[in-house]
Structure 1
Amino acid sequence: MAAGSQLLLLLLLPGLTAASHSPPGCKIRITSKGLDLVKHEGLRFVEQELENITVSDLHGKEGQFHYNISQVKVMDLQLPFSNLHFQPQQHLAFNINNASISLRFRRQLLYWFFYDIGSINASADGVHIHTVLQLAKDEVGRLKISNMSCNASIARMHAGFSGTLRKVYEFLSTFIVTGMRFLLSQQICPSLEHASLVLLNSLLDTVPVRNYVDEHIGIDYSLLRDPVVSPETLDLDFKGMFFYRAREDQELENHAVEPVIKETERMVYVAFSEYFFDSAMHAYFQASVLAMQLEGEKVPKDLEVLLRATFFGTIFMLNPAVVDAPLRLVLQVSAPPRCVIKPSGTSISVSAFLNISLVPADRPAVQLSSMAMESKLSAKVYLQGKALRVQLDLRRFRIYSKQSALESLALFSLQAPLKTLLQLTIMPIINERTKKGVQIPLPEGMDFTREVVTNHAGFLTVGADLHFSKGLREVIEKYRSAPAVPAEPTVQTTAASTGPHQL
């Protein structure tokens, strides 16, 4: 009995493992080169936070020496040695070594009968700060800093006194310097903890997770699992699934090849599997918008003449009275288009049907033909800013009758004119939609530069460098007073569809 249970477990184990690891439709890798850029911007942010450190007043008594220190203000920071690096399995480590902090504070001193008031300049030298940030996926699938450890120390501190009692102050300054050194070191980590867990997390809130692309579909960029950190890279697995807005909870199963990013030369790599594009076309198909209709004057004149000549006999057999009625062409995709990504390029296969009818006024339409169409589009995928864009071109096209092979032969003369119709009339409309693109999940203020697209078997990668169009502080201040980003989808005003709309 025990042996049978073990055998059953062994048989089920592969299926359970596959179910627990859902392949991503979109994957992002940040390399150590990208982290170096983040370090420079992050260091500016840390300087700004440390400059705003609030140190509580220091007062006390040592024998006949009474002191009160207040209005402590950081005047200058020197952070000559800093390092930001990946720390497996889920951490970023940020170190500052041998830094110095210049302070200025107000003094009130009483020694026997001598009372003095004024300002003191002080400096903290040999400042060492070691922080480790833990990265994780939160409940809605957004990347967050979930925890932070911090250790700060000050090797030495010096206070400069002036005036007639300078020698006395220098002798008694040990009490002041020791106290200030303790208070300052105790405020460094709380300041950085607030900067990380509150301010930087508000920056991560600007990363799109579940957004509406247009009035028909949305995109789900939720993380599938916690980030994976190696000594050289940070990998993020996103669902990367488009959805039909009327059925937001419906899942499209992912059977595509999982993207594999091996490169580390650029600052960032973004990979998209065939599933990413298939889900977009499936969502539009569900929305019933992959259709176009041309009627009357919208039908090109040359094509209208050819169609009337081709179906002249059919018209007289069905109803000669409608021979001069306007033509109507209805093109409807019959199944969700499929994307195929190969090292040689990206293509999209589309199956559709074309209904040709006459539409006399105040009378039912007279159908002349219903033909099937199969086409293959080549897709040029490129990145501009943070928008993924697609340029489509019609490569292969054929039509055939759904009724008989004989009718398919008769339709052969229509193949070239209908292909021209698609190229000149329909493809420009589709490309006008797709060129607006879909946003990639990056924080606000960070953009791609020098993008290079590389095709692989089943997925493509975009290698790029990064640059900050806005500083961290600027973005954080913009959203500090704004309400928290909701888990529900939000409308993406700058992005548009990745497929054609119904006219």
Structure 2
Amino acid sequence: MGAQSLAVACRALILFLTLTGATNPGFVVRITQAGLDYAHQQGIAVLEKELAQLKLPDFSGDFRIKVLGKVRYEFSRLDLRNFHLPYSRISLVPNVGLQVSISNAFADVDGNWRVKIHFIRDHGSFDVRVENIYVNINLKLGNDASGKPTIDTPYCSTRISNIRVRFSGRLGWLYNLFHNAIESKFRKILEGKVCDIVVKSVHSKLQPYVQTLPVTARIDAIAGVDYSLVAPPTATAQSLDVALKGEFFSLAHRSAVPFPPLALALPPDHDRMVYFGASSYFFNTAGFAYHAAGALVFEITDSMIPKTIDFHLNTTTFSAFVPQLEKMYPNTPMKLRLSASSAPFLNIGPGGLSLKPVVDIQAYAILPNSSLAPLFLLSLTGNVSAVINVKSGHIVGSLNVGRMKLSLKHSDVGTFQVRTLQSIMNIYASSILLPRLNERLDEGFPLPLPDRIQLSNTLVRFHQNFLLLGADVRYQPRV
């Protein structure tokens, strides 16, 4: 294949991937069986309350008994006193979603009855013990056009194997003659109503809750992060995986990221309820967004130097390294303008996180009329390592600067030995720049968590091209 044909084929492949939406996630959330079990406990408690408020309709009918003839009956004011779900479990169904199975549930119902046989009328009360209720619910997981998760109930079945009705009243014995028909009525009513409540609860409670997952989160006045789902959640035999876009963007102007996300495969860890896989793409889009927004610029003036440092940012101090300064701009205050020449690129490996930023340092003299006179332009490169942690549902971090190297890119004050500036630049970086960066990084940025979820027992592990965060979760209901 010639070079021209190869280029055409590559463009066609890129176009195909764009049209089909084929893309790797920048961020993956994995919910383990332990996490699903915890969510299931919370959901079953809600469902139990919903079922306890179930309203049962009045019903009536008639039948014939030998000798007595036609008997007309009515059941009214049916009151469901309780509904208990003592045994239930949630299961992963690969390529389908989730299944909730409820067994040995029981309920108690009471109410009033009325009977008419020819000219004989009687009434009384009754109570029903409903036992061995079995419910199977399939939960289908998906995502809508905005990237929010969705949940539906394509299948629900209820089976009741044991119903006992007890009557009080003068003619209560009469019901024993047709108790099978009455119990069948109760069974049919309850089996239909239970699934109605389940479907309603999923749509009115569970669906709105899962949609509290933030698909976009504002970080600050400059950038946000996109956590929209790029595909429906995937159920495997061990976990539920949710693929998110995981991309930072500029709030002022969102532009296409010039590099693609790599495939992200989480290890088979299941000690925690939930895991977050943050790829190098995720972090590097942050650098791209802030750089594109012009936010990676930092200025240092004399007022910013800690009082513990016994020199000032002026030409008198720098004349020890650049002798020409004192002659050209005697005892003149200075300003350093630091800017990233390109978006910083972070590397993640088993040993941790590191980056090698390239920073331009433009030095100015601040003239009496407040105008700036350019002095020299330095290029600073160095090794920076990062420490990552989780705090209050946010990824937080701090930077450590290793060895730095300076080179002269341009000078308006003649030549000088750049290496003599190394020590003073180290002081500026460690005492002024680094603390301010770490203060911002300590604020962190939010993890994709639904409403009222708190993390505990967190762990941080590094893998090739991605960071793995693990945690247990706790749901905090509103007071």
TM-score by length of 1: 0.84
Structure 2 residue matching 1:253: 3-state secondary structure: coil
Cα separation, 2, equivalents of 1:385 and 1:192: 33
Question: Are the structure 2 counterparts of residues 171 and 255 from structure 1 closer, same or farther at C-alpha, using a change threshold of 3 Å?
Answer: closer
Which structure 2 residues correspond to residues 232-311 of structure 1 after superposition, within 5 A? 232-248=238-254, 250-256=256-262, 258-299=264-305, 301-304=310-313, 305-311=316-322
Question: Are the structure 2 counterparts of residues 303 and 395 from structure 1 closer, same or farther at C-alpha, using a change threshold of 3 Å?
Answer: farther
How big is the shift at 1:54? Answer: 2.2
Structure 1 residue matching 2:161: 3-state secondary structure: strand
Unpaired segments ≥5 residues, structure 2: 65-69
How big is the shift at 1:253? Answer: 3.2
Q: Which residue of 1 aligns with 2:438?
A: 431
The more displaced of 12-21 and 290-299 is 12-21
Structure 2 residue matching 1:432: 3-state secondary structure: helix
The amino acid across from 1:271 in the alignment is G
Do structure 1's residue 182 and structure 2's residue 188 form an aligned pair? yes
Q: Relative to total residues, which structure has the larger helix share, 1 or 2?
A: 1
Question: Are the structure 2 counterparts of residues 408 and 193 from structure 1 closer, same or farther at C-alpha, using a change threshold of 3 Å?
Answer: farther
Q: Residue 148 of structure 1 contacts residue 193 of structure 1 at CA under 8 Å; is this kept in 2?
A: no
Cα deviation digits, residues 125-179 of structure 1 (max 9, x gap):
2211111111112111121114421111111211111233332233344443222
Cα separation, 1, equivalents of 2:231 and 2:263: 18
Structure 2 residue matching 1:250: 3-state secondary structure: coil
Structure 1 residue matching 2:410: 3-state secondary structure: coil
Question: Are the structure 2 counterparts of residues 10 and 255 from structure 1 closer, same or farther at C-alpha, using a change threshold of 3 Å?
Answer: closer
Q: Residue 23 of structure 2 contacts residue 261 of structure 2 at CA under 8 Å; is this kept in 1?
A: no
How big is the shift at 1:11? Answer: 11
Question: Are the structure 2 counterparts of residues 170 and 35 from structure 1 closer, same or farther at C-alpha, using a change threshold of 3 Å?
Answer: same
Cα separation, 1, equivalents of 2:11 and 2:262: 23
How big is the shift at 1:39? Answer: 2.2
Cα separation, 2, equivalents of 1:334 and 1:41: 50
Structure 1 residue matching 2:275: 3-state secondary structure: strand
Q: Which residue of 1 aligns with 2:375?
A: 368
Do structure 1's residue 458 and structure 2's residue 465 form an aligned pair? yes
Q: Which residue of 1 aligns with 2:67?
A: none
Do structure 1's residue 35 and structure 2's residue 41 form an aligned pair? no
Question: Are the structure 2 counterparts of residues 456 and 217 from structure 1 closer, same or farther at C-alpha, using a change threshold of 3 Å?
Answer: same
Q: Residue 250 of structure 2 contacts residue 289 of structure 2 at CA under 8 Å; is this kept in 1?
A: yes
Q: Which residue of 1 aligns with 2:27?
A: 26
Cα deviation digits, residues 80-112 of structure 1 (max 9, x gap):
331210001031011112221111223333344
How big is the shift at 1:242? Answer: 0.3
How big is the shift at 1:37? Answer: 1.6
Aligned residues: 461
Q: Residue 25 of structure 2 contacts residue 261 of structure 2 at CA under 8 Å; is this kept in 1?
A: no
How big is the shift at 1:269? Answer: 1.4
Cα separation, 2, equivalents of 1:53 and 1:336: 59
Cα separation, 1, equivalents of 2:45 and 2:256: 44
- Equivalent residue for 1:97, pick from 99, 103, 107: 103
Q: Residue 74 of structure 2 contacts residue 113 of structure 2 at CA under 8 Å; is this kept in 1?
A: yes
The amino acid across from 1:310 in the alignment is F
The amino acid across from 2:318 in the alignment is L
Q: Residue 223 of structure 2 contacts residue 290 of structure 2 at CA under 8 Å; is this kept in 1?
A: yes
Please give the root-mean-square deviation of Cα atoms over the aligned residues, in Å: 2.7
How big is the shift at 1:384? Answer: 2.2
The more displaced of 257-266 and 339-348 is 257-266
Q: Residue 282 of structure 1 contacts residue 337 of structure 1 at CA under 8 Å; is this kept in 2?
A: yes
Q: Which residue of 2 aligns with 1:68?
A: 74
Unpaired segments ≥5 residues, structure 1: 476-503
The more displaced of 247-256 and 449-458 is 247-256
Question: Are the structure 2 counterparts of residues 416 and 10 from structure 1 closer, same or farther at C-alpha, using a change threshold of 3 Å?
Answer: closer
The amino acid across from 1:356 in the alignment is A
Q: Which residue of 2 aligns with 1:313?
A: 324
Taking CA–CA contacts closer than 8 Å with sequence separation of 6 or more, which of the two structures ends up with the larger relative contact order?
1
Q: Which residue of 2 aligns with 1:344?
A: 351
Query: Kindly, what percent of the aligned residue pairs are identical?
Result: 25
Cα deviation digits, residues 392-437 of structure 1 (max 9, x gap):
2222322210138x98861212212211221121212111111122
The amino acid across from 2:206 in the alignment is L
Structure 1 residue matching 2:318: 3-state secondary structure: helix
The amino acid across from 2:288 in the alignment is H
TM-score by length of 2: 0.88
Which structure 2 residues correspond to residues 183-262 of structure 1 after superposition, within 5 A? 183-248=189-254, 250-256=256-262, 258-262=264-268
Q: Which residue of 2 aligns with 1:497?
A: none
Question: Are the structure 2 counterparts of residues 385 and 105 from structure 1 closer, same or farther at C-alpha, using a change threshold of 3 Å?
Answer: farther
